[in-house]
Structures are given as C-alpha cells and as structure tokens.
Structure 1
C-alpha cells in the first residue's frame, strides 16, 4: 500500500500495535476508496480492468450506491474510473449496488450489475421488503460512462444478484448468478446481451450444492471452471468440459478469513493467472471501528491435471508483477 491510506495505516499501526503495512495487498487505488467484489477483465487495449462495488465509509448493512473501475498495465499502478453508474441513474432501484461483472462484445462494453429496493429486517425477517434484480448497462468505452440499456432488470422473479457473465469462444454468452431458489442455474444470453434466451437451466453439480454466492466462470484450455464462495466464505471450484456442466466438485482453493464473505474473479494476464478477491481489514485510522473491505490479488497456479493449487493470502500479492514477467521472459 502506498499513498495517504498507507501513511494513515502506518500511523495507526504504531498506535494500535498492528503490522506496519500491508505491502501490495490491498491493491493501491489511491486515496481512501473502499472497494470489494472485483471483476477482472483484459480488453483489446491490453490493460487489466477491475470492476468493483464501492463501500461507503462505515456503511449501513451493505447500503451501496455506485460502481467503479480501475485499470493498469503492470498491476502496481492503477488509474481510477468512476463512478461508472449509480443507483440514481436507475428508474427501478435505489440501493444495493453490489458485485458487478463486465463483458466486451460487438464493439460495446457491458456492465451487468445487481441493484434493488426495500429494507432487510435482520431481527424480524418476516418484515423485510428487500428485493434485488440484475440490470445491464452499455458503453462505448471500458471506463464508461455506462447507461442503463433496458430501463428495468433482466427479470423480477427470482430475486437475484451477483451476476457472472461468461462469453465462450463461439461468442455465446452465459449468465450465472445467485438467486433465491435458483443457485446453480445458468441462462443463455441473446447476442446483444440485453435479454435472456429461453428458460434458466439447472446445472448438474455432481450432488454437491452448498450455500453459495458470487459465482465466477472461466475457461483454461479445454476446461471450464465454476468457482464460488462456498457457504459465502471459502473459495471452491468445479470443473467441466462444458459451460453448462455437468460439473465435478474439486474442493477449496482459498480458506476463509475472519468469518467474512469473499468475492473473487480469476483471469490470465500476460501469461500469468491471477486471483482477485477482497479482504476485511481493520481500519481504526478511519474512525470506523470495524473491518472494512479492500481488493487484493494473488498469483494463481495450476497442477498438471488442471486442478487449482491452494492460494494463501499474502501482503506482497502481485507487487512484483512487472519484474516477474521480465524474469520469466529472459
């Protein structure tokens, strides 16, 4: 961490007896912005882009209002873009700007995002009015601004959030999501990515279907990977020969931290596979006496059979990325 946030963290560390720095983790986006739920993509310009949700300082129960992007060509120096879109731009939602995803197709950039209305009563759930749906916004630029493309969610039932939009080599797009009564479902998207084609398809998960959120699907070679925060905490994965399954459960590749949720994405960049995720870190220097979320990154390694090696959280993260690439190129 560098810049003002790192300085404040160092001062706080001296006062509270915490470690003096977090190294390259969390990623240094500059300023004090709090980010989570990173969606990583490499677009035609060759840069790495992260699309994130944006936590408000000491926010109330995940009441979130906008989405941001960050771009880099070395994973060390990041440029901030945003907000890309806010709930004020939506006619159908006014809160819960949660985990987004993005895609590039037909010369356009797409932001798929969850948003909602109402209130979740955690003490008396029967009084809750909270609802969430998934929208689509479009831009000519990867950094926006994005405009709500259909003026409504893709559907209203079931309640849904945490979209993951995967485009296969043949151009077919698939939407995975967390939905009430509809986890482990996939929907085919129309060519313009503005609607769902046909019904939701319940995937064969090989008999292992724990509580989940935040799915992320990617392809490596001929293998498809369905990854997720299992029980909303540990990161685990399945493998398949098809984007619609059947899937074979392979296990956990990142353990939980602080009994807190973890959302992630996985992407290859300049020959390196990378895991982006968020950490819950103490931030006493901010005046908010609780852990808050910060985006971090680690290298991801595979075994010869394609299975994912366990990933440990580090303070260095991918801070040596430019040097690592140069060393491996020699």
Structure 2
C-alpha cells in the first residue's frame, strides 16, 4: 500500500542538523550523523521524488577526504552553482584561534557526491566577533550574490562568497566578516527569501536539552538588521523534545513550505539520539510565520513535476 505521508522521522537512524534542498528535480536532505564527536566523521544524504519515500546515500563526504578534519564533522549546507555542488560543513569543534578547524567547503559534480575538499584547509578558521566557526548555511540571492551565514556561542556572522564559491568576498566597507546577531541567537542560522522579504531563522537554547527551538526575524536586506519576531518551532511534550536546527523546502511554483528539523523522541535521554522530521510551515497574511505544529504524520505525498 502506497504511503500518503512521510511519517516522522522521515528516515531511520540518529541524524541531526538537516539542510533541505531541491537538486536535479529531486528533494534532498543533508544531515549530521548524530554521534559522539570522535565518531561523527562522515556524512550521509537522503533523496526523494515525492517527500514520502527516501533513499540513503552513504558516505558522501568522509574524514579521509578532508586532510585537516580530525573529529566532529557536522552541520552541512550544500548548494549548486554553475553545474557544481558546494558543500559547507563544520569540523573539529575548535575552541580557540590556535586550533586547526572551523568551516570547510567540499565540491562535487553531483548532489550525491562524492565530495572532495576544495581548499586543503578550512574556509573560515578563526573566531570573529565571538562567533565559533560552526553551523554554516549558504544562501544565493536573486541577484546571484552568495552569502554564508554561520556561528555558535551566541554570535552570528555573515560573509560574501565569490563566484567561485570557495573564497570570501568583501563588503562595501572593505570588511570580510559582518556580525548580524539577533536577540537570543545561539546557533543554526537559516535564510530564505519570500515575496522580497528575508526570513532569518536560528536555533535557541542548548542542543542537548528539551528547550532547543527555532525563532526568526524579518528584514528587507540579507544583511539585516534582524529583530527577533517570535519562536516558530519547539518541543511538544506529547510528541518530542528538542526541536531545532532546521532547513527549509519550498515546493516549486507554490507557496507551500516545509521545515525539516531534528528532534529527540520522548523515549530518549542520550543527547545524540536525534532524528530528522518534516512538518508544514505556513505564513500569515501579514507575512509573519505561524508556529509550526510538530507531528508524527510528516509531509504529504508531493511528487515534483518532471
């Protein structure tokens, strides 16, 4: 019997920090493998033609492919440009500028990889404005300018990516890094654009606790300012806890949106026991976002037009 909804979680296994994309007329989810940092040394990906049936692609990027990565690879964010796929990720969980690690970028000819390190070193390897270089999120605006948002420790920065997608550009004032931290930001930035409004979203609370959640801001510019509006994703004590660190999917040619996120089942106490889920996200007439209802149902059967 054909499934009519994905169900939550959308696929088995402990995964977190999902980024959601449409590549080559196919839905993709790129998550972190959720495990202790010394075991979190590879990335898998999942694809679907209909949001319901998901296929796993194992090991699209591994520690062996990244000469400078030693531990804790997480929070992937891929994007396509000029026929290539660029995959941004965090590695090594650096705590100071003396350590090797930060945000890397890998490249592939296809969305399923394999991805290979593009630089032989991190793209961002220093702590600027107090932001730990983790949790990258890449966004290309309608004018073709690419932005990379990132940050932990309660600070968020944005940088410009050059056309090659593996080097950093400069802002009009000559600077490379710009701090855009909204109120209560912790980590996990995410950006979408809808009807000429930039929606900047982020995770609040501690990722290991039940209160992990997502809030958002609205702006007329991809650089902000971003003033916190409200929380839009959080735990439901009857469904799951620790709902956060998400990506977004828009069904092409529609105003139908889905939030892809991780949460912790009520039966689990291990911080790394997280699973990837998907639920509907809606906008009010004034452009604000309605709070998301987290479900066990997930997303409906939604094939992409071929």
2:282 to 293, 301, 305: 301
Q: Deviations over 1:82-103 (max 9, x none)?
A: 2111112211111111111011
Q: Does 1:85 align with 2:64?
A: no
Q: Could you say which residue in structure 2 is the equivalent of 1:275?
A: 259
Q: Could you say which residue in structure 2 is the equivalent of 1:9?
A: none
Q: Could you say which residue in structure 2 is the equivalent of 1:6?
A: none
Q: Does 1:27 align with 2:10?
A: yes
SS in 2 for 1:292: coil
Return the alpha-carbon distance in structure 1 between the equivalents of residues 272 and 242 of structure 2. 10
Q: Could you say which residue in structure 1 is the equivalent of 2:36?
A: 60
Whether contact under 8 Å (2:233, 2:243) holds in the other structure is no
CA positional deviation for 1:322 = 3.4
Q: Does 1:264 align with 2:240?
A: no
Q: Could you say which residue in structure 2 is the equivalent of 1:8?
A: none
Instruction: Give 1:158-173 correspondences, 5 Å limit.
Output: 158=127, 159-173=132-146
Q: Could you say which residue in structure 1 is the equivalent of 2:78?
A: 102
2:199 to 219, 225, 234: 225
Return the alpha-carbon distance in structure 1 between the equivalents of residues 133 and 109 of structure 2. 27
SS in 2 for 1:307: coil
2:230 to 233, 251, 271: 251
CA positional deviation for 1:260 = 3.5
Q: Deviations over 1:260-308 (max 9, x none)?
A: 3621011202432000001112568xxx977711100001110011110
With normalisation by structure 2, the TM-score equals 0.83
Whether contact under 8 Å (2:148, 2:159) holds in the other structure is yes
CA positional deviation for 1:201 = 1.1
Q: Could you say which residue in structure 1 is the equivalent of 2:184?
A: 210
Q: Does 1:195 align with 2:171?
A: no
1:178 to 122, 135, 151: 151
Whether contact under 8 Å (1:51, 1:69) holds in the other structure is yes
Return the alpha-carbon distance in structure 2 between the equivalents of residues 71 and 39 of structure 1. 12
Return the alpha-carbon distance in structure 2 between the equivalents of residues 155 and 304 of structure 1. 39
Structure 2: gaps of 5 or more residues: 171-175, 207-211
Say which structure, 1 or 2, has more relative contact order (CA 8 Å, 6+ apart). 2
CA positional deviation for 1:210 = 1.7
Return the alpha-carbon distance in structure 2 between the equivalents of residues 145 and 49 of structure 1. 15
Structure 1: gaps of 5 or more residues: 3-21, 121-125
Structure (1 or 2) with the larger CA radius of gyration = 1
Q: Deviations over 1:150-177 (max 9, x none)?
A: 0100132114110000100111100100
Number of matched residues?
282
